[in-house]
Copies of this chain bind each other. A is one copy, B any other.
């Protein structure tokens, strides 16, 4: 159910009782962070088995790689593999209270100026509700529709470009021109571009213009010359690449599992050097529903001891971005997963809603 595509989890068959014991053990360990011993487990499991029996089962589970002992006479703790099985096969999700969902909805459905602000908002929300670090990724948008473009002369050779994209968002860009343009010229150029290209994909605009330019290099009238120079620079670079927003990192300082200062520092620096983490999130773009990376399953060393719970959100049926949380592997998955899931749906709903 919640897997990673990269690692098809092939688990040997475990009988009912063994699974149940593993489940109780993991839940217990998530709750209080201590290794769980046979006596405790015997008490918690409600199976009326003696500790000795439990010990046999635990020994099996250890041999299979689901558990390990920190040392001879501590209890057992789940391994990454143990968590994997727990999540894939044993976890009972706690569905979110409708009231909670309603609160989330209200907090997401705030007026915002741009997608970065929305990402910040949702990221804060995730972090606040789960007490983990919230992450919202803004992916490269493969379809960027030009809604409107305007030019304003700033000074001698500087022109302010305003792009309205996707009916959602406004971008400013300041470009340097070869010669000064006056307001009228710019207005005409904008009118032309708007008339010709509004509603089109921004890359198509670029290509169409380049074609026009090549075809009619010499015979361009003054208007078209203006249009071409403006457009060349305006659409030169992709509006912006991938990016993400992290909130609530400080929550990570509180969980004892990550109290090693140096590890924590590395983690925080990973949040700043975004490149690596982006790669991880990229993988989630193509998956459906909630995805979970446990510890180094992510192939990302810094995340040792951490899990990442993500869900993609879709706009008009197309996966547009990924959001989620990062926290200690020992996190309350039963609560976190529904939150991440619901948040992704709510964000999608907001983004799909017709704009004012």
Contact = CB atoms under 8 A, between A and B. Distances in A.
Interface residues of A, number: 35
A91 to B, nearest CB: 30
A277 interface: no
Nearest to A153: B148
A356 B114 CA distance: 28
A353 interface: no
Contacts of A176: 356
Interface string A70-86: 00000000000000000
Nearest to A248: B272
A245 B114 CA distance: 19
Interface stretch (A20-28, A205-213, A260-268, A338-346): A260-268
B154 A164 contact: yes
B155 A355 contact: yes
Nearest to A267: B250
A164 B152 contact: yes
Interface string A107-129: 00001011000000000000000
Interface in A146-181: 147-148, 150, 152, 154-158, 160, 162, 164, 167, 170, 172-174, 176
Contacts of A174: 111, 113, 170
B113 A157 contact: no
B268 A249 contact: yes
A60 interface: no
B157 A356 contact: yes
A176 B113 CA distance: 12
A160 B152 contact: no
A269 B131 CA distance: 13
Contact of A356 (B147, B155, B356): B155
B160 A164 contact: yes
A264 B114 CA distance: 32
Interface string A344-356: 0000000000011
A253 interface: yes
Given A150-B150, A250-B269, A250-B272, A160 B156 contact: no
A113 B172 contact: yes
A254 interface: yes
A162 B160 CA distance: 10
Contacts of A160: 162, 164, 170
Give the interface centre of A147, A157, A170, A268 by most chain B CB atoms within 10 Å.
Answer: A170
Interface in A169-217: 170, 172-174, 176
Nearest to A252: B265
Interface string A7-46: 0000000000000000000000000000000000000000
Interface in A266-305: 268-269, 272
B148 A152 contact: yes
Contacts of A173: 113
Given A148-B152, A269-B250, A355 B158 contact: yes
Contacts of A262: 253
25 contacts: A111-B174, A113-B172, A113-B173, A150-B150, A150-B162, A154-B164, A155-B167, A155-B355, A155-B356, A156-B356, A160-B162, A160-B164, A160-B170, A162-B172, A170-B174, A172-B172, A176-B356, A249-B268, A250-B265, A250-B268, A250-B272, A253-B261, A253-B264, A254-B265, A261-B261
